[in-house]
Amino acid sequence: NAGVTQTPKFRVLKTGQSMTLLCAQDMNHEYMYWYRQDPGMGLRLIHYSVGEGTTAKGEVPDGYNVSRLKKQNFLLGLESAAPSQTSVYFCASNLGSTMNTEAFFGQGTRLTVV
């Protein structure tokens, strides 16, 4: 049971470099999310998707792009990394959006931009 898998787990980038974080889920979930976690601020939503081919902005979308070409995958892209994007990134998915739906999280990606 893989659940939600994030790739890579760790990455160091230089300012201005680009990269893509991959989130894959094998639970046939419609809803997928990308959050970032910073000390003292909890998790904040970057972008989300309510189904294949759809994406929407969350609370802190600037500097990020996403794509959901396949239902099982949700990609988060940084086109030109900045030190302010140093964070731990979490992907999550759930089957529906009702209030009692449990979210399943990936193990996180620790990104450092120098």
Give residues in contact with another protein (CB under 8 A). Answer: 31, 33, 35, 40-45, 48-50, 56, 58, 88, 90, 92, 94, 96-103, 105, 107-108, 110
Q: How far is the CB of 3 from another protein (least distance, A)?
A: 10
Q: Which is nearer to another protein, 15 or 97 (CB)?
A: 97
What is the spatial distance between Cα 114 and Cα 111, in angstroms, rounded to a whole number? 10
Q: Which is nearer to another protein, 85 or 109 (CB)?
A: 109
Nearest to 91 by CA among 78, 104, 102, 72: 104
Q: How far is the CB of 15 from another protein (least distance, A)?
A: 25
Q: How far is the CB of 72 from another protein (least distance, A)?
A: 18
Q: Which is nearer to another protein, 17 or 103 (CB)?
A: 103
Q: Which is nearer to another protein, 22 or 45 (CB)?
A: 45
What is the spatial distance between Cα 91 and Cα 74, in angstroms, rounded to a whole number? 8
Q: How far is the CB of 39 from another protein (least distance, A)?
A: 9
